A = this chain, B = another copy of it.
Amino acid sequence: MARWEPHTKERLARAALELYSEYGYERTTVAQIAARAGLTERTYFRHFRDKREVLFDGAHSLETTLSEAVAAAPGGASPRAALAAGLDAIGLAFQGAREQARTRQAVISAQQELQERELIKLASLTRVLAEALRLRGVEETRASLLAEAGCGVFKTAFVRWVGDERPRGGASAGEVALAALLREGLDTLGDALARD
């Protein structure tokens, strides 16, 4: 086997998620994660700082996806349309990854320290979204409000998506798309906030 291993990081992440799910986050060691992935602890620490990092490694790329999509919305798009474009991109980024997201969510829900880390990452995502809207010329307060609401739509849609238990025909047949729940959430919130 070649010394260079393809998908090393993904294998480590998958192994970690499996072990956290099977034995609990607290009881799993980095040595076990490396062994399950057929790699060494040293290799693990080349990719992740600690046991926790492996669960939040996707946060930065999600921020980039979101801000790039908001920036790429047509120049004449309304702030709401730019936000919707950002949410669409998030939906696309998670496509086909529901089982993984569900396992990760179960691990995080079982551990207060991880829930707190998740809140911090979401606050960072909100700041990135507000900044992306501001860069489009959206006034500061309006950008903050839309970013907070947009991240609320994401959180709510995500919980529905990973919790969706409808029977599935095949590998991912019948799986409700996160993108659809995000769009529906944005519409529902807009309607609910319309002045009486």
**Which residues of A are interface residues toward B (Cβ below 8 A)?**
78-81, 116, 119-120, 123, 141-142, 144-149, 151-153, 155-156, 159-160, 185-190, 192-196
Contacts and interface: CB of A to CB of B under 8 A. Distances in A.
A155 to B, nearest CB: 6
Given A142-B188, A146-B189, A149-B149, 10 more contacts: A78-B196, A80-B194, A80-B196, A116-B120, A141-B160, A142-B189, A148-B148, A148-B152, A189-B193, A190-B195
B141 A145 contact: no
Nearest to A159: B144
Given A119-B119, A196-B78, A148 B145 contact: no
Contacts of A160: 141
Contacts of A196: 78, 80-81
B80 A189 contact: no
Nearest to A112: B120
Contacts of A152: 144-145, 147-149, 151-152
Contact of A185 (B81, B145, B155, B186): B145
A124 to B, nearest CB: 10
B80 A193 contact: yes
A186 B193 contact: yes
A185 B80 CA distance: 16
A78 B156 CA distance: 21
A123 B109 CA distance: 14
B81 A146 contact: no
A148 B151 contact: yes
Contacts of A192: 79-80, 142, 145-146
